[in-house]
Amino acid sequence: MINTNILDNIEFLKNAEEKLNAKMAGDKDVTLDDIKEGWDMEDRNFKLIGFCIVGFFILYLIMAGIIADQDKKIERLEYKIESQQKLLDYHNEVLVNINRKVQFPGG
């Protein structure tokens, strides 16, 4: 694709040079529209590249938002895990105390 673009650009420049030489020699009537024909394709390429860059930027912003939301969810889950672990430790301690009282009722 790159090679064909380069060849197209070279061909366009040669045609533009021929048209300019013809205009300067007065052989035929060449307008600027004739010379600008090839630039339409270049403008399309730049527009496409611009749209791609804008699209990737929007995608980047969306992904950044998703990652930030996931970080918040992870923090909430870590907090829940810690609280569940503390509750489990407390219940475990209560069960150990009950077990001691059952095994050694007199103290």
- pLDDT tens-digit series, residues 63-100: 998 888 888 899 999 999 999 999 999 999 999 988 88
Query: Is residue 75 one of the residues assigned to a domain?
Result: yes
Query: Is residue 27 one of the residues assigned to a domain?
Result: no
Query: Is residue 93 one of the residues assigned to a domain?
Result: yes
| pTM exceeding the 0.75 threshold for the entire prediction | no
Query: Is residue 91 one of the residues assigned to a domain?
Result: yes
Q: Domain limits at 72?
A: 58-107
Query: Is residue 43 one of the residues assigned to a domain?
Result: no
Query: Is residue 24 one of the residues assigned to a domain?
Result: no
Q: Which of 47, 33, 29, 37 is nearest to 12 (CA)?
A: 37
What is the domain count for the chain?
A: 1
